[in-house]
């Protein structure tokens, strides 16, 4: 059995490590060291290589396969997040629906979801193909629609309808018609100022090919007012306006205009209503 003294003496022995050319046996490099130094250097080299290898595996391109997901989310938090996502989705859908309805209003049409199920299919036909003289059934249906509108409007007035101011004073050249003309045309003196019928926020103010300069104001309680064929606009999108504030100048712009006038529309909860039931224009 080797004693501790013999082992100590053996570790203190010097050894020579060298490399030589196999052809001519010329020494290329060499160094002298004790066995203790040699084994220590060898151990350090092994530790260094192991550490670098481990670092490469854990932090390199293969680290994905060695990661452990320590993040745990409680079920209640997941449910809260899902609920928030659903609420945001509902808000986005409602906003998209509102914008579609807004562009439909700009085109002078009634949004599909604003039409009653009892409205006849002829409401979607080209007005040029309609017969000028209505039949008895059409007269009866027209009277029913008007009665329904009066009933609805009377209910609205009795349930906190705000006081409106007429945007202009003048002669009405074309009345409201739910099928063919969802607004009224008011002839006024040249360059007459158009005022806001109610306080609100401007949500559209721009030029369109068919209706010229158009401005739309969103009011409280679900009301929306539309002013078309203006000569110029005095407010921008996002502007806060009060009742009787100047917002535009009466003009004759757009393909659908045949002379200086204001085409005015009033909407309630995406339904067009007759402005004459809410304000006077002469």
CATH, residue 233? 2.70.70.10
* pLDDT reported for residue 157: 42
100 and 179 part of one domain? yes
Using the 8-state DSSP alphabet, how is residue 261 labeled? B
Range of the domain at 230: 89-123+167-282
pLDDT tens across the length of the chain (282 residues) = 667 777 777 777 777 777 777 777 787 777 777 878 878 888 888 998 988 888 877 776 666 565 555 455 567 777 788 888 888 888 787 777 777 767 766 665 655 554 443 433 433 434 344 344 555 655 565 555 445 444 444 344 434 678 899 999 999 999 999 888 999 999 998 889 999 999 999 999 999 988 999 999 999 888 999 999 999 999 999 999 999 999 999 999 999 888 899 999 999 988 999 999 999 998
Instruction: Say how far apart CA 219 and CA 247 lie, in whole Å.
Output: 14
* pLDDT reported for residue 73: 56
Contact 168, 263 (CB under 8 A): no
29 and 95 part of one domain? no
Instruction: Say how far apart CA 127 and CA 99 lie, in whole Å.
Output: 26
95 and 180 part of one domain? yes
How many helices, marked H, and strands, marked E, lie in the chain? 4, 12
Domain count, the chain: 2
* pLDDT reported for residue 188: 92
pLDDT tens per residue, range 102-148: 776 666 565 555 444 343 343 343 434 434 455 565 556 555 544 54
17 and 100 part of one domain? no
How far, CA to CA in Å, does 38 sit from each of 5, 11, 12, 30, 48? 19, 9, 10, 13, 15
Instruction: Say how far apart CA 145 and CA 163 lie, in whole Å.
Output: 25
Q: To which residue do tokens 């003289």 refer?
A: 133
101 and 220 part of one domain? yes
Residue 217's H or E segment, with its range, is strand 212-218
11 and 114 part of one domain? no
Instruction: Say how far apart CA 182 and CA 267 lie, in whole Å.
Output: 9
Contact 216, 203 (CB under 8 A): yes
119 and 38 part of one domain? no
pLDDT tens per residue, range 3-30: 777 777 777 777 777 777 777 778 777 7
212 and 249 part of one domain? yes
54 and 98 part of one domain? no
Position 146 in a domain: no
Position 114 in a domain: yes
Residues 6+ apart with CB under 8 A from 173: 185, 186, 187, 261
Position 74 in a domain: no
Instruction: Say how far apart CA 134 and CA 23 lie, in whole Å.
Output: 118
Domain end: 63, 78, 97, which one?
Answer: 63
């Amino acid at each position: 059995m080797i004693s501790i003294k013999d082992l100590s003496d053996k570790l203190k022995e010097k050894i020579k490590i060298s490399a030589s050319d196999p052809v001519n046996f010329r020494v290329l490099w060499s160094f002298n060291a004790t066995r203790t130094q040699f084994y220590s250097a060898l151990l350090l080299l092994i530790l260094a290589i192991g550490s670098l290898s481990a670092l490469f595996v854990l932090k390199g391109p293969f680290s994905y396969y060695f990661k452990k997901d320590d993040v745990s989310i409680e079920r209640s938090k997941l449910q809260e997040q899902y609920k928030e996502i659903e609420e945001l989705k509902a808000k986005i859908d409602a906003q998209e629906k509102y914008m579609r309805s807004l562009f439909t209003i700009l085109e002078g049409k009634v949004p599909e979801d604003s039409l009653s199920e009892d409205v006849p299919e002829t409401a979607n036909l080209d007005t040029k193909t309609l017969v000028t003289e209505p039949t008895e059934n059409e007269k009866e249906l027209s009277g029913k629609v008007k009665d329904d509108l009066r009933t609805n409007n009377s209910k609205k007035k009795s349930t906190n309808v705000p006081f409106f101011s007429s945007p202009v004073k003048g002669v009405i050249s074309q009345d409201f018609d739910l099928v063919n003309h969802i607004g009224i045309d008011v002839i006024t003196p040249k360059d007459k100022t158009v005022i806001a019928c109610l306080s609100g926020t401007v949500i559209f103010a721009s030029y369109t090919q068919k209706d010229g300069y158009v401005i739309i104001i969103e009011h409280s309680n679900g009301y929306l007012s539309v002013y078309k064929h203006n000569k110029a606009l005095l407010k921008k999108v996002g502007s806060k306006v009060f009742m009787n504030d100047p917002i535009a100048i009466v003009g004759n712009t757009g393909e659908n205009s045949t002379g200086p006038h204001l085409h005015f529309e009033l909407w309630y909860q995406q339904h067009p209503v007759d402005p004459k039931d809410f304000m006077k224009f002469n």
